[in-house]
């Protein structure tokens, strides 16, 4: 009950805070909420199931391109779920092959799939816009009457998607299946001996992770009006890993706080130095040395053991 109240309080706080957020931060927080959905998806695979993937940009981009391309000829209300499904389907397809491997091999195989996806986007330039990408017309970004190019509807839509994703994530990790996911992370062999099917569990977890990633990609395209190959590149596979590590792997709220902190770390540091990436690197080193379980993970370790 305490956990549910905390998560509802965050959603409520994000609803309330929009009244006082200055315009720049108003859009930023909307952006962070969408990216946090992506990070939550990554966390389902990595933080809870122990699948260290380096290819999640492929799932994010699958959602983004499916929605971005579909919206040329279909309403956004149809294109959005199509993008969500594309992310899940891509993760399922990759999982069927990549989950035959584990550990470092899994990282490399997922990285290779993502790289193949990135190059495919570049090669089919006439359809995908290649490295330049393409913009979505304002009319195409009307979601059930909401103009997603306007700040208010965009924020509320981002909050709605984030809220549903957060509560579903909470329900997932507190469910029986969520515990099996954690069991796979902690000791796959013992779980197998207890009668659980590791391949099936990991495949479902990865597909759910893809669903979250695809949802984030699809929402990002509609909210910010741009679809581009750079979102399929390697750095967009690394970023959710960093957000999750910063916020706390295996915590439901960690991905949001990780994405939020990383966003502002880059935003503030890039205004004062060319070496903003160095600042991020140093921050991560400090984190690994002094709080290896991330912000929420450390809080959980030091008292709030009820944190999911």
Record the tokens describing residue 124, joined without a space: 């089919």
Q: Which residue has the tokens 């880059």?
A: 266
Q: What does the DSSP assignment read for 140-207?
A: GGEETTEETTSHHHHHHHHHHHHHHHHHHHHHHHHSHHHHHHHHHHH-HHHHHHTT--HHHHHHHHHH
Shortest Å distance, C-beta 286 to other proteins: 22
Residues 42-101 that bind other proteins (CB under 8 A): none
Interface with other proteins in residues 272-291 (CB under 8 A):
274, 276-277
**Please, which residues bridge with residue 226 across strands?**
135
Helix/strand/coil for 226 = strand
Nearest of 34, 28, 26, 13 to residue 264 by alpha carbon: 28
Single residue of 18, 261, 265, 280 touching other proteins by CB under 8 A: 18
- Give how many residues touch other proteins by CB under 8 A: 40
SS3 228: coil
Tokens 């992310």 correspond to: 87
Residue 292 touches other proteins, criterion: CB under 8 A: no
| Contact set for other proteins, span 95-154 (CB under 8 A) | 119, 122-123, 125, 129-136, 138, 149-150, 152
| Binding span for other proteins by CB under 8 A among 92-100, 165-173, 253-261, 265-273 | 265-273
Instruction: Tally the residues of the chain.
Output: 308
Identified binder of other proteins from the candidate list 31, 56, 185, 202, rule CB under 8 A: 31
* Shortest Cβ 125–other proteins spacing (Å): 6
State the nearest-atom distance from the C-beta of 303 to other proteins, in Å: 35
Binding mask 149-178 for other proteins (x = CB under 8 A): xx-x--------------------------
47 vs 55, which CB is nearer to other proteins? Answer: 55
Does position 28 interact with other proteins (CB under 8 A)? The reply is yes
Residue from the set 34, 39, 142, 229 that interacts with other proteins by CB under 8 A: 229
Cβ 129 to other proteins shortest distance, Å = 7
Cβ atoms 198, 191 nearer than 8 A? yes
| The one among 225, 238, 280, 291 contacting other proteins by CB under 8 A | 225
Nearer to other proteins, 44 or 136 (CB): 136
Minimum CB separation from other proteins for residue 228, in Å? 5
Distances (CA, A) of 93 to 58, 96, 171, 285, 289: 11, 5, 25, 35, 37
Q: Which is nearer to other proteins, 30 or 211 (CB)?
A: 30
Q: Which of 271, 290, 303, 305 binds other proteins (CB under 8 A)?
A: 271
Tokens standing for residue 281: 């690197």
* Stretch touching other proteins by CB under 8 A, among 96-104, 173-181, 228-236, 296-304: 228-236
Euclidean distance between CA atoms 149 and 146, whole angstroms: 9
* C-alpha 207, offset from chain centre: 13
228 binds other proteins (CB under 8 A): yes
**Are 283 and 294 within 8 A, CB to CB?**
no
Work out the number of other CB atoms within 10 angstroms of the CB of residue 134: 18
Residue 297, number of CB atoms within 10 A of its CB: 21
Residues binding other proteins (CB under 8 A): 18-20, 22-24, 26-28, 31, 119, 122-123, 125, 129-136, 138, 149-150, 152, 224-226, 228-231, 266-267, 270-271, 274, 276-277
């Amino acid at each position: 009950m305490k956990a549910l109240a905390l998560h509802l309080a965050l959603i409520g706080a994000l609803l309330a805070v929009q009244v006082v957020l200055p315009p720049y931060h108003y859009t930023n927080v909307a952006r962070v909420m969408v990216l946090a959905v992506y990070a939550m998806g990554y966390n389902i695979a990595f933080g809870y199931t122990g699948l260290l993937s380096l290819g999640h940009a492929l799932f994010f981009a699958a959602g983004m391109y499916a929605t971005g391309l579909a919206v040329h000829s279909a309403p956004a209300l149809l294109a959005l779920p199509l993008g969500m499904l594309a992310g899940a389907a891509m993760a399922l397809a990759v999982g069927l092959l990549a989950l035959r491997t584990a550990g470092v091999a899994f990282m490399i195989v997922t990285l290779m799939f993502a790289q193949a996806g990135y190059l495919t986007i570049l090669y089919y330039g006439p359809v995908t816009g290649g490295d330049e990408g393409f913009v979505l017309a304002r009319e195409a970004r009307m979601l059930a009457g909401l103009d997603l190019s306007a700040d208010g509807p965009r924020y509320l839509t981002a909050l709605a998607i984030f809220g549903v994703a957060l509560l579903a994530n909470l329900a997932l990790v507190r469910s029986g299946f969520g515990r099996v996911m954690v069991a796979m992370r902690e000791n796959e062999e013992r779980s197998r001996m207890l009668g659980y099917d590791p391949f099936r569990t990991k495949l479902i977890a990865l597909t759910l992770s893809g669903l979250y990633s695809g949802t984030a990609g699809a929402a990002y395209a509609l909210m910010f009006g741009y679809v581009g190959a750079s979102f399929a590149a390697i750095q967009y596979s690394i970023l959710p890993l960093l957000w999750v590590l910063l916020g706390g792997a295996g915590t439901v709220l960690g991905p949001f706080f990780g994405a939020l902190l990383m966003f502002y770390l880059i935003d503030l540091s890039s205004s004062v130095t060319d070496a903003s990436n160095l600042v991020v690197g140093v921050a991560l080193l400090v984190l690994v040395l002094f709080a290896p379980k991330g912000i929420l993970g450390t809080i959980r370790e030091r008292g709030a053991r009820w944190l999911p």
